[in-house]
Amino acid sequence: MDFEFTEEQKMIQELAREFAEREIAPIAAKLDETGEFPHETVKKMGELGLMGLQVAPEYGGAGADPISYVLAVKEISKVDASHGVIMSVNNSLVCYGIETFGTEEQKKKFLTPLASGQALGAYALTEPQAGSDASNLRCSAKREGDVYIINGTKAWVTSGPVADYIILFAVTDPSKGHKGITAFIIDTHQPGFKVGKIEPKLGIRASHTSEIHFENYRVPVENRLGEEGQGFKIAMTILDMGRIGIAAQAWGIAEAAYEASVRYATQREAFGQPIFYHEAIMFMIADMATRIEATKLLTLQAAYKKMKGERVTKYSSMAKVFAAETAMWVTTKAIQVHGGMGYSKELPIERYFRDAKITEIYEGTSEIQRLVIGRQILKELEAGLI
Ligand code: CAA
């Protein structure tokens, strides 16, 4: 792996960092408090190309590579993880899915507004009874001539209440298990679509998450993504990319907590010297830095492999589980370094801690990531690679 970033990668990282510091930092605490969705800043991110970073310019995107994408998600998440997940879901669960599996017409019709920030996307796989066991779906799609009739409920949909287009996974043939699942692009402005319960959440409070309901929703056949029965593999392939985005989000949260801890520990004095020089604190900070460095390398490696066109299932799960657990660990220690101030809402440390937790849960829990990694190891053994 080449550790030098290209000029373009550095420029995109700088663009995201500068935007986050100028536009998001002043409102992040308030958004966390009110739980208001940041329509304006998300729209501006779209205008800057941050909502469709990897999408080809002919479909309204920035045409950037996965490394630039990871660096940009990290910078945005470092300032506010809510913006980070809105961006990550739109980029890697929605735009990537449509660009990879969509027809030319679908790309023209849906990608262009999604990538340029005129529309917002969501990804609806999970159902109340199907979280980790993602193929156990009930939401149904029955074909009637040129349309499919959709009925059912999806749960925990990031941007569900505000999305214009949603990639939906529904059962077209219940007798075929995961091979009976099909993907569709849903226009939420059509009849039969309803936003359900909005989740009151511990963290990433400015990102809105909800149930969504379909009641005899009619989706034209031309909005089917891929072939009938391909839906589960499409869902998993998209998540391989999505998990790299969440790893970058977790990296950003961890970096924010770490840098705040270094600053605080070198200023705050106890027993006659800055607390940084007490081994108990210095070692915590050394461990934070080391884990973040490993997170960075795993996340960039997954992005690099994606850029080279390799299958990244194992590497994106490794990056995601390690980054998520690092974010949780670092933010926990960051509160400890800050003492009472870390527990207070006067500083963003407790927000980083609350925001970090979700990275161990969504787009596959840490347990699911280990399952995915374990299964890939068994495949390598079967293939004689171990
Ligand atoms: N790429 C391509 N194909 C894949 C794949 C991948 N990464 N993973 C599995 N497949 C294929 C398999 O090869 C298999 O194909 P064949 O039938 O042809 O052999 C098929 O899919 C079924 O695979 P499994 O037998 O491994 O399926 P499983 O039922 O055991 O499930 C799982 C595997 C890894 C547990 C999967 O269900 C999973 O990832 N669960 C977690 C789901 C998840 O991450 N949900 C989060 C949703 S998004 C979200 O969080 C909300 C949000 O808005 C951010």
Domain residue extents for the chain: 7-120, 123-228, 232-382
Contact 330, 358 (CB under 8 A): no
Coil, strand or helix at 191: coil
Q: Give residue 48's identity as a one-letter amino acid code.
A: L
Contact 68, 9 (CB under 8 A): yes
Q: Is the pLDDT of residue 2 over 70?
A: no
Task: Give pLDDT, residue 308.
Answer: 96
Angle at 240 between CA 35 and CA 184, to 5 degrees: 75
What number does the ligand 1 atom closest to the CA of 89 have? 54
What number does the ligand 1 atom closest to the CA of 157 have? 53
What number does the ligand 1 atom closest to the CA of 179 have? 17
Which residue matches tokens 């800057």?
Answer: 48
Q: Is the pLDDT of residue 227 over 70?
A: yes
Minimal-distance CA residue to ligand 1 atom 10: 233
Alpha-carbon torsion (345, 348, 349, 350), positive or negative = positive
Going from the Cα of 253 to the center of ligand 1, the distance in angstroms, rounded, reads 26
**Burial status of residue 89 (CB atoms within 10 A of its CB: 0-12, 13-18, 19 or more):** buried
Contact 143, 172 (CB under 8 A): yes
pLDDT tens-place string over residues 199-220 = 999 999 999 999 999 999 999 9
- 3-state secondary structure string across 295-331: HHHHHHHHHHHHHCCCCCHHHHHHHHHHHHHHHHHHH
Distance in angstroms (rounded) separating the CA atoms of residues 178 and 3: 39
Retrieve residue 373's tokens.
């990694």
> Quick one: pLDDT band at residue 127, thresholds 50, 70, 90?
very high
Q: Is the pLDDT of residue 131 over 70?
A: yes
Minimal-distance CA residue to ligand 1 atom 13: 233
Going from the Cα of 122 to the center of ligand 1, the distance in angstroms, rounded, reads 18
What Cα–Cα distance (Å) separates residue 105 from each residue in 70, 98, 102, 224?
A: 28, 11, 8, 11
Q: Do the domains spanning 7-120 and 232-382 agree at the CATH topology level?
A: no
What number does the ligand 1 atom closest to the CA of 134 have? 37
Task: Give pLDDT, residue 3.
Answer: 75
Question: Does the pTM exceed 0.95?
Answer: yes
**Burial status of residue 267 (CB atoms within 10 A of its CB: 0-12, 13-18, 19 or more):** exposed
pLDDT tens-place string over residues 40-54 = 999 999 999 999 999
Residue to mutate (ligand 1; options 168, 236, 312; most atoms within 8 A of CB): 236
Going from the Cα of 157 to the center of ligand 1, the distance in angstroms, rounded, reads 17
Minimal-distance CA residue to ligand 1 atom 52: 158
Q: Give catalytic residues, as residue numbers.
A: 363
CATH class of 232-382: mainly alpha
Distance in angstroms (rounded) separating the CA atoms of residues 83 and 89: 10
pLDDT tens-place string over residues 152-187 = 999 999 999 999 999 999 999 999 999 999 999 999
Going from the Cα of 183 to the center of ligand 1, the distance in angstroms, rounded, reads 14
Which CATH code fits 123-228?
Answer: 2.40.110.10
What number does the ligand 1 atom closest to the CA of 123 have? 53
Q: Which residues line ligand 1 (CB under 6 A)?
A: 89, 123, 125-126, 132, 134-135, 156-158, 178, 232-233, 236-237, 239-240, 313, 362-364, 368, 371-372
Q: Which residues make Cβ contacts (< 8 Å) with residue 353, sequence separation at least 6?
A: 203, 257, 331, 332, 334, 335
pLDDT tens-place string over residues 43-91 = 999 999 999 999 999 999 999 999 999 999 999 999 999 999 999 999 9
Going from the Cα of 141 to the center of ligand 1, the distance in angstroms, rounded, reads 20
Give the closest residue to 337 by CA, choosing from 250, 378, 251, 277: 277
Q: What percent of the chain has pLDDT over 90?
A: 99
Minimal-distance CA residue to ligand 1 atom 48: 363
Which residue matches tokens 């501006």?
Answer: 44
> Quick one: pLDDT band at residue 301, thresholds 50, 70, 90?
very high
- 3-state secondary structure string across 213-241: EEEEEEEEHHHEECCCCCHHHHHHHHHHH
Residue to mutate (ligand 1; options 233, 363, 367, 375; most atoms within 8 A of CB): 233
Task: Give pLDDT, residue 89.
Answer: 98
Going from the Cα of 214 to the center of ligand 1, the distance in angstroms, rounded, reads 23
What number does the ligand 1 atom closest to the CA of 158 have? 53
Length of the chain: 386
Going from the Cα of 313 to the center of ligand 1, the distance in angstroms, rounded, reads 10
Task: Give pLDDT, residue 1.
Answer: 56
Whether CATH 1.10.540.10 fits 7-120 = yes
Distance in angstroms (rounded) separating the CA atoms of residues 167 and 374: 28
Minimal-distance CA residue to ligand 1 atom 46: 363
Distance in angstroms (rounded) separating the CA atoms of residues 114 and 95: 7
Alpha-carbon torsion (313, 316, 319, 321), positive or negative = negative
Contact 133, 177 (CB under 8 A): no
pLDDT tens-place string over residues 313-343 = 999 999 999 999 999 999 999 999 999 999 9
Q: Which residues make Cβ contacts (< 8 Å) with residue 210, sequence separation at least 6?
A: 157, 160, 161, 195, 196, 197, 198, 199
Give the closest residue to 130 by CA, choosing from 183, 88, 169, 179: 169
Q: What percent of the chain has pLDDT over 70?
A: 99
